[in-house]
Structure 1
């Protein structure tokens, strides 16, 4: 390239010389050849020497000096997987000549270097107290699954004497397992026991020992003295009316079927279409404990009877203001079930105080009470119109009893037929 530039400059100078000569022929001055000497092309040897010249010194780069990536010795977490040479490479930099050997040692606390160990706090405290009390403890560097004399440190003879008793243990360690009765051969189906075999020291009888029998006799004697086995007297019956007037201007009570609710409640016809309930209309509140049963008034369903674990029975309005009309109180324990008769003028209640009681729905008076010293679970009137004085009850002794109202006697029904 340098030669091409020089030749072009020379040709440019020759052209100018020819022009000057032509002009000199016409009377112009001649150009001095020394003035254009710098425009002459350079020799090939000179051009080659200039191209090989490099004045920048050779400098070693960082990649040539460092052989790999170095880690900080104080680093606790590495985000990549380094090689072995990188992990154990020597540290760079000068050392402090004034630091002693103890100060130069790696440490993570004031007194030295503590390695974290996977030891439970309770296990550590148990071994510490055992060593301070008995003079021995389990060796943490030895597998403790097979306990032997080499598994302990400190007073090994004391450990063998106490059979490895720890600080929080009350007696010697039981190394022997309970032996089971041999189950026989698996091919013999009748005599083979397998994993269901009993222990050799297992007792089959459930008879209490002499000490246990004395305690049971004392408990039974105390219960008899307190009168637990005696028949409990029936609770006093009373009622509370929650509305101002029990009768309207025509002398009708709340048992009268209302006609101002927009529905004909006296109709016995079955509706053509029935729908599932889709929204909540009302919530009745008044019982202090769980409600065990609810019963609608027969035919019309304009009243609602509920019994609860708070020993009370309440009668509610289903339409209009949905008030609590009357409360019936007469049981000393939770009421389990209630049931209306066909007309709704009377209802029965069964409670855990072992009493069945017949109530008047309009006045709240308790008409009769029945008991056979068993807990009634459910009660129901006879569905026949001419037998409304009879009802049946399911008792806790798995029997059904029939109670005639006229004699106030309990008659057992043969439920096998």
Structure 2
């Protein structure tokens, strides 16, 4: 019970559970039954004209009102009784685990899963195998064909595959990033086993990128960290963060600048880092939405970026002012891209279910004669990949298909059912004639030939 005598709560209040509606109704009824206060408010004394400041100074018409003192004798004690409502089941307190973005330092770990870390000559899995029917050391590109059958399934991930990368040039290793917070390394020859797991991210890993010789790679995650790893032994070499989510990371392919990388961030910026000094050296801030893709072009002197702001911008490396800006009313957000092996064109996956092509040379103009249709990928960031000889364009599909088009005619050659869920990642083996790897939303990586 609560007493409102003199408008001051007194006495002991029993704790009861009532709904907000019941409380407001009872309070409204109490206020409406009360008589209006007939007492006129009094002002303080005006004070003495001769006193300028301090006690008794002149206040005149600016004197304050006297504070009301509760008069217990003037009002009756009103007792209000609230009916106790039934106690409703309270929702569970939300977990705050999802808001902790600071990865704990020194928590990066690695697990080697292979049979032997060193062979009889002391070499690790980084050594390019030579006991195969194909020379992985050559730079010759074989003629490519569309794969026909599923030959292997790489297992190890428990959630969606977000990105995959073959080892540079040789392709004897496969690096995969997943929403299960891990990055894994597989052997693509011999028994095609899981070789190593890289643990240390606390949220989904959304991109990975090898440097030129494959000795190191970068991982970007929704825990807002970018981490530099040693491919051979799994050590985390460096960590970079700005407090924003990185969406894409790319090493500069130029040999004298391969220690630098670019990161496209959720706060519309592209950041340039030096891995040797561990510092940020440049910032490109012109996009109006999160940055989705970064593609180096023109002998690595320039790069092209796309964003959720439905635009394309081209930049000189190291100069934070765009040299080209393309934004047309018909354009959609471009979420993934790949450079044609000729280095003359870039293909982008648009959110209007088509793949569009832009020139990678001076004008960066859209090639309107080339558009690849017939698949569905709206709402997902689904890969686009060229075959090593540039003859085919491939992409995933929300229906679980992997699609292949002819580069010259833009006609769809083949549509292979590769998964029950959306197919996110597609990559061609850089040395084989018809080997393609696919990754889906269920965490399954399949190898096709």
TM-score, normalising length from structure 2?
Answer: 0.41
Q: Higher relative contact order by CA 8 Å / sep ≥ 6: 1 or 2?
A: 2
The structure with the largest alpha-carbon Rg is 1
Compare the two structures and name the one with the higher strand fraction. Answer: 2
